[in-house]
Amino acid sequence: MEDYLAKSLDEWKEDISEVLDQINTDYEEIKKELKVYSYKYGITKQVIQSTVNEEIIENIREMYHKPFEEKYNELKEYIRELDEKRKVFQMFVNKIDEVKRKEAPKTDLAAAYK
């Protein structure tokens, strides 16, 4: 592979890898937050199921259960989006590596015949 081409691909891969690293960082943070809201949502659901007083149940739903459920669903959707982004940017990295692997033997053979 010609030097300028290899250098260009390496620079592009580095840029994409930085984006991928940021996506992975965001993914891990959202994953932790999602776990927290999963517990909060589950606990409030269990408390509601164990409570007989309708007024208390309604207060719990309004104060905790609905906001936790909304946040949980929001985070779930966001983590799906981040996962899709991870896959796409990882594909870029894999394709760049694949092109470099395929081109490397051709360049090595051409250099050997000079």
Please give the pLDDT value at position 6.
86
pLDDT band of 113, cuts 50, 70, 90? very low
Domain count, the chain: 1
| 76 assigned to some structural domain | yes
Does residue 1 fall inside a structural domain?
no
pTM over 0.85: no
Cβ 71 vs Cβ 38: under 8 Å = no
| 2 occurs within a structural domain | no
- Encode pLDDT of 64-75 as tens digits: 999 999 999 999
Give the C-alpha separation, 54 to 69, whole Å. 19
User: For residue 6, is it within any domain?
Assistant: no
Q: How far apart are CA 60 and CA 80, in angstroms?
A: 29
Residue 95 lies in a domain: yes
**pLDDT band per the 50, 70, 90 thresholds, residue 2:** confident
Answer yes or no: are the C-beta atoms of 107 and 1 closer than 8 Å: yes
